[in-house]
Copies of this chain bind each other. A is one copy, B any other.
């Protein structure tokens, strides 16, 4: 392989997508994960053939089973890692003991930008859950409950100290998470609407939704 051309089995991919799986070793296992995530995101789990994944990773069909026991295990690894990263993201954004307003805007901005920048990965982890085995599905649902609990706590704190005005905390929590999650469904990269810009817009919308300070632009 000459230095001026990329190897044939390393397709030219968005660097962001590779970055998510950087720590996966060996390289062949990582290429398979990335290829699987791309295929699952575009076609869905059941419409993706193991041949698609192998070809995307520059391998023969049989090569998949050296690194993973089944197609479902690929989905599981993607989904598990994705949810762990989502949780880490939220915990980072809420750390430091800031007030509810700062925590809410930080979380929504980060979560939204993550769903936009990694829309390929997040499309899989948000919309292909039902293709997991029952055991794996149960495990992921537990992680999703943690996500819900962390955001709900911010709203509860904001209501308790009077910063927020929220008639129905559980449903508003769902609505806020809905906004960010659904970004994975429709977002495509655009110079007009970068992940960071969208994150800021959505953080502002979130603040308005909870009746927080800065949301009363109309009252001026």
Residues of A within 8 A of B (CB): 42-47, 127, 130-131, 165, 167-168, 171-172, 174-175, 178-179, 181-183, 185-186, 193, 198, 201-202, 204-205, 208-209, 211-213, 215-219
Contact = CB atoms under 8 A, between A and B. Distances in A.
Contact of A219 (B186, B198, B216): B216
Contact of A217 (B42, B171, B211): B211
The copy count of this chain in the complex is 2
15 contacts: A44-B45, A44-B46, A167-B201, A167-B204, A171-B198, A171-B201, A172-B205, A178-B183, A179-B179, A179-B182, A205-B209, A208-B211, A216-B216, A216-B219, A218-B219
A21 B127 CA distance: 26
A210 to B, nearest CB: 8
B212 A215 contact: no
B130 A127 contact: no
Choose among A131, A213, A218 the residue with the greatest number of B CB atoms under 10 Å from its CB.
A218
Contacts of A181: 182, 185
A114 to B, nearest CB: 16
Q: Main secondary structure on chain A at its contact with chain B? A: helix
Contacts of A179: 175, 178-179, 182
A42 B130 CA distance: 8
A202 B174 CA distance: 11
Given A130-B44, A181-B182, A218 B212 contact: yes
A217 B78 CA distance: 43
A166 to B, nearest CB: 10
Contacts of A208: 208-209, 211, 215
A52 to B, nearest CB: 13
Given A178-B178, A179-B179, A218-B216, A130 B171 contact: no
B218 A218 contact: no
Given A215-B218, A216-B218, A218-B165, A205 B44 contact: no
